[in-house]
């Protein structure tokens, strides 16, 4: 039984509007800028990506992986508490719980890749 479903793939970048525009040209679709450093891309075939402002962004040096996080997964859940128990039991690590009223939390998978559980 699945714990969550994939909400969106989020790419951290220095200029979310520009990067979303690039992918809109590559993939087709429309962008929606929230004006606060977050841009959604909805493609014509239903694929969704999001772009988030990351001050101090450092591009990766391929094939070396010395740069910080380049993207993370937002996983949509119905019950944040239950989903947290499940992912922790599967080997995830809580990285940031934030304010208890917040509808998302940040975790690392067993290999250290960050992802968010989002009850939104």
The answer to the question of residue 62 being in a domain is: no
pLDDT of residue 3: 93
Q: How many domains, in total, are found in the chain?
A: 1
CATH of the domain at 41: 3.10.180.10
Give the pLDDT confidence of 52-96 residue by residue, as tens digits.
999 888 776 655 556 666 668 899 999 999 999 999 999 999 998
Percentage, residues of the chain above pLDDT 90: 62
The answer to the question of residue 58 being in a domain is: no
pTM for the whole structure: 0.72
* CA distances, 20 to each of 15, 48, 68 (Å): 9, 11, 20
pLDDT of residue 112: 81
Element (H, E) at 21: helix 16-27
The answer to the question of residue 114 being in a domain is: yes
Domain containing residue 10: 5-53+69-118
Bridging pattern class, strands 71-76 and 30-33:
unpaired
pLDDT of residue 62: 57
pLDDT of residue 63: 56
Mean pLDDT of all residues in 89-117:
89
The answer to the question of residue 15 being in a domain is: yes
The answer to the question of residue 35 being in a domain is: yes
pLDDT of residue 61: 61
Three-class secondary structure of residue 47 per DSSP:
coil
């Amino acid at each position: 039984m699945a714990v969550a479903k994939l909400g969106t793939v989020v790419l951290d970048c220095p200029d979310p509007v520009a990067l979303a525009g690039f992918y809109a040209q590559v993939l087709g679709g429309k962008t929606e800028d929230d004006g606060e450093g977050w841009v959604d891309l909805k493609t014509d075939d239903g694929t969704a990506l999001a772009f988030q402002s990351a001050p101090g962004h450092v591009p990766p040096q391929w094939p070396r992986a010395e740069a910080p996080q380049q993207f993370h997964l937002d996983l949509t859940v119905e019950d944040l508490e239950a989903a947290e128990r499940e992912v922790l039991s599967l080997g995830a690590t809580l990285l940031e719980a934030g304010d208890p009223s917040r509808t998302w939390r940040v975790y690392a998978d067993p290999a250290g890749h960050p992802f968010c559980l989002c009850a939104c």
